[in-house]
Amino acid sequence: DAGAEALRAAGGRRVVAVVRDEHRHPWMGAALDTLLAAGPDTVVVEMGIPQSAPRGALHIATHGAARVCGVAAAEAVLAG
């Protein structure tokens, strides 16, 4: 389970989950469900064009998957 593995790796720290095409990959939605259930303060960064409803304490939709989009999302997370 990717969500449980991410929680173990986080070691109690706040999680920033970066997803892309969550609506196409059931395993990704399940992992995100696990992360959000364990940590409602999880930040969700959705790369690409968002298709799912926003989730997480902070939800950032980049509307692209280029490196510049990832950098802008990281800057927003660090600022918030």
Average pLDDT for the chain: 92
The pLDDT score that the predictor gives to residue 62 is 94
Considering the entire predicted model, what is its pTM?
0.87
Q: Considering only CA atoms, which of 36, 49, 37, 43 is closest in space to residue 16? A: 43
The pLDDT score that the predictor gives to residue 46 is 95
Residue 38 host element (H or E) = helix 26-38
- The predicted-structure confidence for 26-58, as pLDDT tens digits, reads as follows 999 999 999 999 999 999 999 988 888 899 999
The pLDDT score that the predictor gives to residue 52 is 85
Determine contact, residues 63/50, Cβ cutoff 8 Å.
yes
